[in-house]
């Protein structure tokens, strides 16, 4: 274990690429460079609120106890070998080209080499202004920081690829936010999350250099990313192979999100990781009722571009943006387009496998595709609580035959009683399902085990987060600590107090169902 203050950090991104070394934090365009050096702006007082023990152990990071070490987590102190910077990236937001965006409030401190030899980018989110802050303050509030901290760790334990969060600190500084975008700004407590991943590079980093027609920078960035994060890819057609792997990883990620019921809420290309990780936790949510049209982001309401059921197709659109960005590195676009078009097939295959696991099928045969599709359609119509429905399905008594019995068995999962037509559809589906389960070549226990491993029993619902945040703002951390434990074993039956539908009061309460981007 090493301490945050005495570690010899690496700074390979900074050492490799051209950056703006001026240290000037004035908002501006930065053509020709991939980052700007930017030191965190000190805050009033850094107080450690949460620390991810498992992650720290994996990375070999000693828990800070002295204030000078805790200060590193809030940007009030730097280790001598750190070379902090904000990355320059662009992006498509809600389908439109947004030009230069960049790390407006995130500052990478350095790269931490773990005992296994893997390198981790340590980044503070909310550490103050950078040249990419535009008109904003570079800060983050407690409520959004708690959400990023808990949810990124929750996703890790759900086995969904994600960035991680090492620590959460409060800053002692008030931060002004118009939470509902309705002209009523108010002060909220400030906070900073230290997030980490092998790399936080996004599609948008490539889009930026491509848009500026900096082909040398584009090539250098792609070469570096491949050599460092995709070292098995070599040879003549490496850019194509690399893109294919990003397509594959992104398809896997979308399938995983659907498996656990996660809705990201802001799938702009600047929020898409080139490593296929879930990145940038903003107005996300798990679905409670199985509504494919659900978007948690109030800004997304007009078009519902980022709705639960649209994520897989938006990912394809985003991959198209990445393909356009890297196209100058290939001779002709034919193969790149073909690789992009493979996405639908790759995704469908992964989706079917995932659904087979969720449903406890021994294997997914051609004849099972209809069953899977009907499941999706029927759930989308009935809209039961997704988590509870699948938990009940695991223990469905296979001898049930009557519509009444079958429907009653799932009664704890309904938000509204199914209509007559929906009842008939669901009963018919369940009968077909029972018949199919009985054809499994594996035992019922094995099938149920598979279901238990793929259907979470605990998900970090927005209303729980909202309650924990309300408590924290009053200086009370009981629920927060309970949630911090619960996220670690989401497939177990250890958290029955949270095994419940979203309560009625939370349906329309801000922060419990929908959120704004204000963070």
Phi and psi based region of residue 418 (left: phi greater than 0; alpha: psi -120 to 50; beta: remaining): beta
With CB under 6 A as the contact rule, the residue among 20, 280, 288, 385 that binds ligand AMP is 280
**Shortest approach of ligand AMP to residue 14 CB, angstroms?**
19
Q: Of the two residues 52 and 271, which places its CB atom closer to ligand AMP in the complex? A: 271
Residue 101 contacts which entry, Mg ion, ligand AMP, none (Cβ below 5-8 A, type-dependent): ligand AMP
Q: How far is CA 381 from CA 2, 375, 385, 458, in A?
A: 53, 10, 12, 23
Residue 102 contacts which entry, ligand AMP, Mg ion, none (Cβ below 5-8 A, type-dependent): ligand AMP
280 is catalytic: no
**Shortest approach of ligand AMP to residue 152 CB, angstroms?**
14
Q: How far is CA 200 from CA 102, 354, 442, in A?
A: 12, 27, 41
Site string for ligand AMP, 132-171 (x = CB under 6 A): xx--xxxx--------------------------------
**Residue 442: Cβ within 10 Å count:** 13
Asked whether the beta carbons of 90 and 98 are under 8 A apart, the reply is: yes
With CB under 6 A as the contact rule, the residue among 7, 105, 143, 305 that binds ligand AMP is 105
Question: Could you tell me how many residues make up the chain?
Answer: 519
* Segment (H or E) for 93: strand 90-93
Q: Of the two residues 40 and 418, which places its CB atom closer to ligand AMP in the complex? A: 40
**Residue 366: Cβ within 10 Å count:** 7
Please report whether residue 177 would count as binding ligand AMP according to CB under 6 A.
no
Please report whether residue 102 would count as binding ligand AMP according to CB under 6 A.
yes
3-class SS shares of the chain: helix, strand, coil, % to 5: 45, 15, 40
Residue 136 contacts which entry, Mg ion, ligand AMP, none (Cβ below 5-8 A, type-dependent): ligand AMP
With CB under 6 A as the contact rule, the residue among 33, 109, 266, 469 that binds ligand AMP is 266
Residue with tokens 């879930």: 278
Site string for Mg ion, 354-373 (x = CB under 5 A): --------------------
Residue ranges in 78-202 assigned as alpha helix (H): 142-157
Residue 282 contacts which entry, Mg ion, ligand AMP, none (Cβ below 5-8 A, type-dependent): ligand AMP
With CB under 6 A as the contact rule, the residue among 104, 172, 189, 198 that binds ligand AMP is 104
**Shortest approach of ligand AMP to residue 132 CB, angstroms?**
6
Asked whether the beta carbons of 123 and 455 are under 8 A apart, the reply is: no
Shortest-Cβ-distance residue relative to Mg ion: 280
Residue with tokens 């450690």: 48
Residue with tokens 């924290």: 472
Dihedral, 158, 253, 114, 199 alpha carbons, nearest 10: -140
User: Residue 165's beta-bridge partner residues?
Assistant: 195
Q: Of the two residues 137 and 342, which places its CB atom closer to ligand AMP in the complex? A: 137
Shortest-Cβ-distance residue relative to ligand AMP: 104
Binding residues for Mg ion restricted to 242-281, rule: CB under 5 A: 271, 280
CA atoms of 233 and 226, how far apart (whole Å) = 7
**Shortest approach of ligand AMP to residue 273 CB, angstroms?**
12
Q: Spot the catalytic one: 270, 280, 300, 385.
A: 270
Asked whether the beta carbons of 137 and 215 are under 8 A apart, the reply is: no
**Residue 303: Cβ within 10 Å count:** 12
Closest alpha carbon to 43 in 165, 134, 145, 186: 145
Asked whether the beta carbons of 37 and 85 are under 8 A apart, the reply is: yes
**Shortest approach of ligand AMP to residue 377 CB, angstroms?**
33
With CB under 6 A as the contact rule, the residue among 271, 378, 454, 462 that binds ligand AMP is 271
**Shortest approach of ligand AMP to residue 282 CB, angstroms?**
5
* Segment (H or E) for 140: strand 140-141
User: Residue 307's beta-bridge partner residues?
Assistant: none
Binding residues for Mg ion restricted to 273-332, rule: CB under 5 A: 280
Residue 125 contacts which entry, Mg ion, ligand AMP, none (Cβ below 5-8 A, type-dependent): none
By the criterion CB under 5 A, which residues form the site for Mg ion? 271, 280
By the criterion CB under 6 A, which residues form the site for ligand AMP? 101-105, 132-133, 136-139, 266, 270-271, 280, 282, 517
Point out the residues that are catalytic.
270
């Amino acid at each position: 274990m090493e301490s945050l203050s005495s570690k010899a950090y690496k700074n390979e991104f900074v050492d490799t690429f051209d950056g703006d070394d001026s240290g000037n934090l004035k908002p501006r365009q930065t053509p020709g460079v991939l980052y700007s050096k930017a030191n965190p702006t000190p805050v009033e007082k850094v107080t450690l609120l949460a620390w991810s023990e498992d992650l720290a152990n994996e990375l070999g990071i000693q828990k800070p106890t002295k204030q000078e070490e805790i200060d590193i987590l809030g940007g009030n102190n730097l280790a001598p070998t750190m070379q902090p910077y904000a990355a320059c990236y662009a992006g498509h937001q809600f389908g439109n080209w947004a030009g230069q965006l960049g790390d407006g409030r995130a500052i990478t401190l350095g790269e931490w080499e773990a005992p296994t030899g893997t390198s981790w980018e340590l980044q503070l989110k909310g550490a103050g202004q950078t040249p990419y802050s535009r008109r904003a303050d570079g800060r983050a509030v407690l409520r959004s920081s708690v959400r990023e901290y808990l949810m990124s760790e929750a996703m890790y334990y759900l086995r969904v690829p994600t960035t991680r969060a090492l620590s959460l600190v409060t800053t002692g500084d008030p931060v002004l936010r118009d939470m509902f975008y309705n002209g009523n700004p108010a002060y909220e407590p400030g906070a900073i999350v230290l997030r980490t991943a092998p790399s936080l590079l996004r599609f948008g980093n490539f889009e930026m250099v491509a848009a500026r027609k900096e082909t040398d920078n584009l090539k250098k960035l792609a070469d570096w990313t491949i050599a460092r994060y995709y070292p098995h890819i070599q040879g003549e057609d490496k850019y194509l192979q690399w893109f294919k792997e990003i397509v594959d990883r992104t398809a896997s990620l979308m399938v995983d999100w659907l498996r656990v019921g996660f809705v990201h809420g802001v799938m702009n290309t600047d929020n898409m990781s080139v490593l296929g990780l879930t990145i940038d936790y903003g107005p996300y949510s798990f679905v409670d009722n199985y509504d494919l049209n659900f978007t948690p982001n109030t800004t997304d309401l007009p078009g519902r571009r980022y709705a639960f059921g649209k994520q897989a197709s938006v990912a394809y659109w985003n991959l198209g943006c990445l393909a356009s960005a890297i196209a100058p590195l290939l001779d002709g676009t034919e193969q790149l387009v073909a690789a992009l078009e493979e996405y639908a097939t790759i995704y469908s295959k992964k989706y079917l496998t995932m659904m087979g696991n969720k449903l406890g099928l021994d294997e997914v045969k051609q004849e099972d595709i209809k069953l899977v599709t009907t499941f999706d359609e029927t759930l989308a119509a009935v809209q039961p609580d997704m988590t509870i429905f699948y938990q009940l399905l695991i223990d469905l008594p296979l001898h049930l035959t009557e519509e009444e019995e079958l429907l009653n068995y799932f009664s704890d999962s309904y938000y509204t009683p199914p209509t007559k037509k929906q009842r008939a559809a669901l009963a018919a589906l369940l009968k077909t399902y029972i018949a199919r389960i009985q054809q499994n070549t594996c035992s019922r226990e094995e099938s149920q085990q598979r279901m238990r491993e793929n259907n979470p029993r605990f998900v970090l619902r927005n209303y729980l987060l909202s309650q924990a945040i309300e408590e924290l703002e009053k200086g009370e951390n009981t629920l927060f600590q309970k949630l911090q434990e619960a996220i670690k074993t989401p497939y177990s039956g250890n958290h029955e107090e949270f095994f419940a539908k979203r309560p009625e009061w939370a349906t329309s309460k801000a922060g419990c169902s929908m959120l704004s981007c204000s963070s």
